[in-house]
């Protein structure tokens, strides 16, 4: 790298002085994004349901030189979301990565399955956006990064309620962009392919399924959490000031096959 490149890239992609809240930040894509944004200079707060997982994630983040704190919160619990907003009243960057997926056939989903799935995957991102976006707008700068799914625009077996929520997440980002982008706040959705994370362990356990899904990706492999580091830094940075309201596939070509 030449001498001019480092400060140029820092100005373009650096997040020094910024703060970021990442739900689901203790594992999977959420953790990879937390590490990436922290590595770019942001102060990180991760939120997740299990305290032991948060403690382990903090240890790993600190080992990478990331300045990070954690808040235990269940995104399916309305009171926990209220408490999270009170504990972290302001942030420059909001990443909604927490998710659940109750993998029952559509005809076997109970009302409780549906309500729990919508609460974690849609209501929590909506409520957090409603809290933080107006505050970002008053400061004239903000970034909302929602994590969608291939099910934002296509079906996937035995994930019906999850598909409903993730389709709505794409619409949420567009609505957030329409409302807040005139005030310097962008909102976008990242659409992963099939990623090897704790959320997909049930599918990974099916013999031959991982290999079959890898073959469906144009690049011939399934995704890994670290595949989402670059897009997260880009969308969180000044480099993406003109990108808003978009559903961005980061899926190794899964969506084109």
| Catalytically active residues, by annotation | 162
- Residue for token digits 């922290």? 38
Q: What is the dihedral of CA 27, 97, 239, 139, to 10 degrees?
A: -120
- Residue for token digits 């107006």? 134
Q: In a 10 Å sphere around its CB, with 0-12 CB exposed, 13-18 middle and 19+ buried, how is residue 5 labelled?
A: exposed
Side by side, the strands of the sheet bearing 185-192 are: 68-72, 43-48, 19-23, 93-96, 142-147, 185-192, 247-250
Angstrom distances, CA of residue 226 to CA of 24, 84, 89, 229: 15, 26, 28, 5
Contacts of 144 (CB under 8 A, 6+ apart): 93, 94, 96, 129, 132, 133, 136, 173, 176, 180, 185, 186, 187, 188
């Amino acid at each position: 790298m030449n001498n001019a490149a480092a400060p140029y890239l820092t100005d373009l992609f650096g997040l020094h002085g910024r703060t970021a809240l990442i739900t689901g930040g203790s594992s999977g894509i959420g953790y990879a994004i937390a590490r990436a944004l922290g590595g770019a200079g942001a102060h990180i707060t991760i939120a997740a349901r299990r305290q032991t997982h948060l403690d382990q994630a903090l240890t790993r983040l600190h080992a990478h030189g990331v300045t990070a704190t954690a808040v235990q919160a269940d995104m399916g619990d309305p009171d926990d979301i209220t408490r999270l907003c009170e504990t972290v009243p302001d942030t420059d960057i909001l990443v909604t990565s927490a998710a659940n997926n109750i993998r029952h056939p559509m005809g076997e989903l109970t009302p409780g399955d549906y309500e729990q799935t919508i609460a974690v995957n849609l209501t929590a991102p909506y409520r957090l956006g409603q809290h933080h976006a107006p505050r970002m707008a008053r400061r004239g700068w903000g970034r909302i990064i929602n994590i969608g799914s291939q099910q934002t625009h296509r079906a996937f077996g035995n994930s019906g309620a999850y598909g409903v929520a993730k389709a709505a997440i794409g619409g949420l980002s567009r609505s957030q962009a329409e409302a807040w982008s005139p005030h310097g706040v962008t909102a976008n959705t990242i659409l992963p392919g099939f990623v090897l994370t704790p959320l997909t362990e049930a599918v990974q356990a099916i013999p031959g399924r991982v290999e079959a899904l890898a073959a469906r990706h144009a690049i011939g492999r399934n995704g890994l959490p670290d595949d989402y580091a670059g897009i997260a830094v880009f969308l969180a940075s000044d480099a993406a000031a003109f990108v808003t309201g978009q559903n961005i596939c980061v899926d190794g070509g899964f969506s084109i096959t």
